[in-house]
Amino acid sequence: MTQSVLTADTLRDWIRKAADVLSENRAYLTDLDSPIGDADHGNNMQRGFNAASAALPPGEDPAAVAKAVAMALISKVGGAAGPLYGTYFLALAKRFEGAAPLDIDALASALEEAVAAVKKRGKAETGMKTMIDALDPAAVACRMEATQGGTVSLAVQAAAKAAEAGASATVPMLAQRGRASYLGDRSKGHQDPGATSSAMILRALADVVAGR
């Protein structure tokens, strides 16, 4: 059964689902990272989300759940990804405060604020071949559903689809941030691992809300 609002239970199920998906795709993410990074993105994301899943607090406060996830990711995910994903979930936590359960407007605002925080932290914009290329269109798609009077279920599905399209669109891009940027034109032709894992995380949320 689909959900019209997001609760702390939904968020806990989301993180558990994301941990499973990232574990299943550990080798794939590592393969994506090998030509343009340190070949550790799969391992880092698996370790970080397994830690986040283990750290999930009880209770009805979505903000507390998001903050616990952020702290685990900052602590356990290596390289630049840890602080960036941590920043994303910290921004979600800040927006979730006092907003339980979360309706579509609260979710849209949270995704927008989280993307803005990651852009500021990573000094990145859409088109630079980073996780922003998945997260930004996802936030835009969610806001569009909210503006059109859509539901949480439609919003997270639209966000996941937009993130997946955004990740695929990084293949021909020239990397302008991170280790991949050192490769210049050789970074072209590879899908960005951070955008890919971001799309997987948002797909996990969509699947949980849809009852899958």
| Structure-block tokens of residue 32 | 């994506």
The pTM of this model reads 0.95
pLDDT at res. 50: 97
pLDDT at res. 182: 80
Q: 36-65: b or e for each residue (b if 16 or more CB lie within 10 Å)?
A: bbeebbbbbbbbbbbbbbebbeeeebbbbb
Nearest to 157 by CA among 89, 13, 73, 165: 165
C-alpha pair distances (Å), 52 with each of 8, 58, 162: 14, 13, 25
Helix runs in 123-151, H state only = 132-147
Give the 3-state secondary structure of residue 101: coil
Residues 105-154: tens digit of each pLDDT: 999 999 999 999 999 999 999 999 999 999 999 999 999 999 999 899 99
**What is the enclosing helix (H) or strand (E) of 160?**
helix 152-168
Residues 147-165: tens digit of each pLDDT: 999 899 999 999 999 999 9
In which residue are the tokens 């795709």 written?
25
pLDDT at res. 2: 54
| Structure-block tokens of residue 65 | 């759940």
pLDDT at res. 1: 43
Give the 3-state secondary structure of residue 6: strand
Residue type, 98: G
Distance CA 79, CA 47 (A): 13
Please, what sign has the CA dihedral across residues 106, 82, 25, 66?
Answer: negative
For the chain, which residues score pLDDT lower than 50? Answer: 1
| Structure-block tokens of residue 40 | 């550790």
Residues 6+ away with beta carbon under 8 Å from 41: 29, 30, 32, 33, 81, 193, 194, 197
Residue type, 28: Y
Nearest to 179 by CA among 190, 166, 163, 165: 190
Q: Which structural domains are found in the chain, ordered by start?
A: 8-209 (1.25.40.340)
